[in-house]
Structure 1
Amino acid sequence: MATWLHDVFPVAKPIIGMLHLSALPGDPGYDSKGGLATILDRARAELANLQEGGVDAVMFSNEFSLPYLTKTEPITAITMARIIGELHDEISVPFGVNVLWDGRASIDLAVATDAKFVREIFTGVYASDFGLWNTNVGETARHRRAVGGENVKLFFNIVPESAKYLADRDLEAITRTTVFATLPDAICVSGPTAGSQTDMDQLQAVKNAAGNVPVFVNTGVRANTAAAQLSVADGGVVGTYFKKDGVFENPVDPARVRELMGEVQKLRHTLPAS
């Protein structure tokens, strides 16, 4: 297993809690009357609920910037940097960022805020709900180098939500070539939409093919599924389950955070000492 994983997350099977920012300036759903103050107030409350509930890390994302862009407007990452800067002294766990669906902007934001990792779609060509979606991982890797982001860990989502890989290749083959040719720091495996169950067969196939690259289950982690999913995956990303009543649009419910993290702690107690 990659040594960096324990350096960033000093626990086994780390859980990254998603901090979904409200619609931002320029987004169709932006609340111009409430403005940035309203966005910041919700983000501050959700950060506190995630951290007090025991998550191992937090990832800031513009989840409510619907419909998403594959090349974002500058105002999106700029606003996210402002919000993270305002909250920086309150962040007590490692954090990452995700500017949906823009890998370069995510890396820029990570460098600007000292985030430890980013998650994005860095490879592949897809037919998606927002049109034909192409990537250029070679350019993105060189951009990370150019802006001084060598220490920012890249989480590659190789099963993107709301999209289908255009090449006729199975997931194990995609994983093997992704690991060999594009040098991901970690791989994320998702279900078809936010909060939907990640297929266990797909998760196992990716884990089998990923070698020493850590594999994270990216959607559908729940209190009653976490143990089974983490018996395969090296960590998990949780967003929807942490929301009140498990509804994507709702705010984070600290009781649900504690419930899931309690199950993860039970699992950790069964693991062999490293």
Structure 2
Amino acid sequence: MLKFKDIFSRKCSVIGMIHVGALPGTPSYAGDINKLVSKACKEAQIYLSYNLDGILVENMHDIPYIQSHHFGPEVGVTMSRVCSELRKVVPDNVACGVQVLSCGNKEAMAIAKVCSFDFIRAEGYVFSHIGDEGFANANAGTLLRYRKQIGAQNVLVFADIKKKHSSHAITSDVSLEDTAKAAEYFLADGLVLTGTSTGVPASTHEMQSLKKCVNLPIIIGSGVTIDNVDHYLSAHALIVGSHFKEGGKWNNDIDEQRVEKFMQKLVQLNK
């Protein structure tokens, strides 16, 4: 079975976000699937030119989000089209992952299997929370059974814990550390730690605490910038999205100079 170190060999790897344009049927859909695919591939090529270790594909423009039981077939089909085209331009030594909002973990697993992707980012893996799209129930058991059923054991699951944009009052008596231990016990392949919302830095104190309490890769999932990246070098990987965009806003185009300067600094810090 594939392991984290098999796809991320750098001490602190960098995963660049590709925020796919709004999918068919969503309020912001612009009516041209080919443009969605073309832009995603162009962004991947930018990341490749600056030697990022991986990419993560996400349908973040599908606002307002709906939960997976409301998805129509177009969601999985369109994301599969995008991911299959990306896999053609991204070499095998660069890890590819997918997340389907909201809580589309099984859909992401199927897409990853079909498109030869390496990992998914999963919401609501252990315990339950209330997001802005509604109640999300824990799904580790059903997700990993589905992974087994479709023969996708080489698709790793990176689980968000105490996920951003969510209320965790219902599990307020369960600490972040206990949540992490539960995710480890339920066979997660890595943990994603975030701030409270997109672009908000994760707590370095929480990062260090997680490293002490579990034996899983810790992935920082929000708020990493060129100004604070040195605080997160002890993490196993950094997911960078907003900072790579024009003006630091997630819904803008990628700013190539931001990517270049960030990766240059990372190289210098790792000397």
Relative to the length of structure 2, the TM-score reads 0.92
Q: Could you say which residue in structure 2 is the equivalent of 1:113? A: 115
Q: Could you say which residue in structure 2 is the equivalent of 1:5? A: 4
Contact 2:87 2:117 in 1 (8 A): no
Aligned residues: percent identity? 27
In the TM superposition, 1:62-77 aligns within 5 A as 62-71=59-68, 72-77=71-76
SS in 2 for 1:144: helix
In 2, distance between residues paired with 1:5 and 1:125? 26
Per-residue deviation at 1:156? 0.4
Q: Which amino acid aligns with 1:234?
A: H
SS in 1 for 2:167: strand
Q: Could you say which residue in structure 2 is the equivalent of 1:40? A: 37
* Aligned counterpart in structure 1 of residue 127 of structure 2, from 120, 124, 128: 124
Corresponding position: 1:173 with 2:178: yes
Corresponding position: 1:164 with 2:167: yes
SS in 1 for 2:209: helix
Q: Could you say which residue in structure 2 is the equivalent of 1:148? A: 151
Per-residue deviation at 1:253? 1.0
In 1, distance between residues paired with 2:9 and 2:141? 30
Contact 2:23 2:29 in 1 (8 A): yes
In 1, distance between residues paired with 2:2 and 2:23? 36
In 2, distance between residues paired with 1:204 and 1:73? 40
In 1, distance between residues paired with 2:34 and 2:105? 27
Q: Which amino acid aligns with 1:56?
A: D
In 2, distance between residues paired with 1:83 and 1:174? 33
Corresponding position: 1:225 with 2:224: no
In 2, distance between residues paired with 1:201 and 1:5? 23
SS in 1 for 2:11: coil
Corresponding position: 1:61 with 2:71: no
Per-residue deviation at 1:257? 0.8
What do the CA deviations read for 1:91-150 (whole angstroms, capped 9, x no partner)? 132211111121111101100101001101122211221112212211111001001111
In 1, distance between residues paired with 2:95 and 2:2? 16
Contact 2:19 2:60 in 1 (8 A): yes
Contact 1:171 1:205 in 2 (8 A): no
Per-residue deviation at 1:85? 2.0
SS in 1 for 2:80: helix
What do the CA deviations read for 1:155-200 (whole angstroms, capped 9, x no partner)? 00102121122212111121122212x1110000011111111122
Q: Could you say which residue in structure 2 is the equivalent of 1:248? A: 250
Per-residue deviation at 1:247? 1.2
Contact 2:118 2:155 in 1 (8 A): yes
What do the CA deviations read for 1:14-73 (whole angstroms, capped 9, x no partner)? 1110111000012111112xx112212221221121111221111111111112222133
Q: Could you say which residue in structure 1 is the equivalent of 2:239? A: 237
Q: Which amino acid aligns with 2:108?
A: S
Relative to the length of structure 1, the TM-score reads 0.91
In the TM superposition, 1:201-212 aligns within 5 A as 201-210=205-214, 212=215
Per-residue deviation at 1:154? 0.4
SS in 1 for 2:84: helix
